Chain A
Amino acid sequence: MSIDDRPSPGAARSSGISYQELLDSDTHDVPSELRAESSRYFGSEDVPVERYISREWHEKEVAHVWSRVWQFACREEHLPDVGDYVVYEIARSSFLVIRTAPEVIKAYWNSCLHRGRQLKDFDGHCDNEIRCPFHGFAWELDGSFKRAPADWDFSTLADRVAAREFELPEVQVARWQGFVFINPDLTAESFQEWAGDGLDHFERWDLGSRYVEAHVAKVIECNWKISQEAFCEAYHADTTHPHTAKYIGNSNSQIDVWDNCSRVITPAGTSSPMLPYEVVPDEMLRAMLDVRVDEDTPFDVPEGDTCRRVAASKARDRWRPIVGEVADEWSDSEMIDNFDYTVFPNFHPWGSFNRIVYRFRPNGDDHRTSIMEILLLSPFAGERPPPASVHWLDPDESFTEAPELGMLGKIFNQDLANMSKVQKGLETSKKGAVTMSDYMESKVRWIHHKLDVWIDAGEQAAVSGSEVGVEL
Chain B
Amino acid sequence: MTGALYEQDGQGNVRVALRDGRVGTFTPDGRRVSGDKIDVDIHLAGWVGGPKVKHHRLET
> CB within 8 Å of B: which residues of A?
239-243, 245, 274-276, 288-290, 292-293, 298, 311, 314-315, 318-319, 322, 336, 398, 400, 403, 405-410, 413-414, 417
For the complex, is B9 an interface residue (Cβ under 8 Å from A)?
A: no
Complex CA–CA separation, A403 to B5 (angstroms): 27
Q: Is A410 within 8 A of B57, CB to CB?
A: no
* 5 A–B contacts, CB within 8 A, in A order: A242-B43, A275-B1, A408-B56, A413-B50, A414-B46
Nearest CB on B from A354, distance (A) = 9
Q: Could you tell me the dominant secondary structure of chain A's interface residues?
A: helix
Q: Is B47 within 8 A of A298, CB to CB?
A: no
Interface residues of B in 29-60 (CB under 8 A from A): 29, 41-44, 46-47, 50-60
Nearest CB on A from B14, distance (A) = 12
Nearest CB on B from A296, distance (A) = 13
- How many chain B residues sit at the interface, stated as a range, is 20 to 34
Interface residues of B in 1-28 (CB under 8 A from A): 1, 5, 7
* Beta-carbon nearest neighbor of B5 in chain A: A293
Chain B residues, Cβ within 8 Å of A293: 5, 7
Q: Is B58 within 8 A of A414, CB to CB?
A: no
Q: Is A319 within 8 A of B54, CB to CB?
A: no
Q: Out of B29, B43, B50, which one reaches A240, CB within 8 Å?
A: B43
Given known A293-B5, A417-B46, contact A242–B41 (CB-CB < 8 A): yes
Q: Is B51 within 8 A of A406, CB to CB?
A: no
Chain A residues, Cβ within 8 Å of B52: 290
Q: Is A319 within 8 A of B57, CB to CB?
A: no
Chain B residues, Cβ within 8 Å of A240: 43
Chain A residues, Cβ within 8 Å of B5: 293
Q: Out of A241, A322, A403, A414, which one reaches B60, CB within 8 Å?
A: A322
Q: Is B53 within 8 A of A407, CB to CB?
A: yes
Complex CA–CA separation, A51 to B57 (angstroms): 38
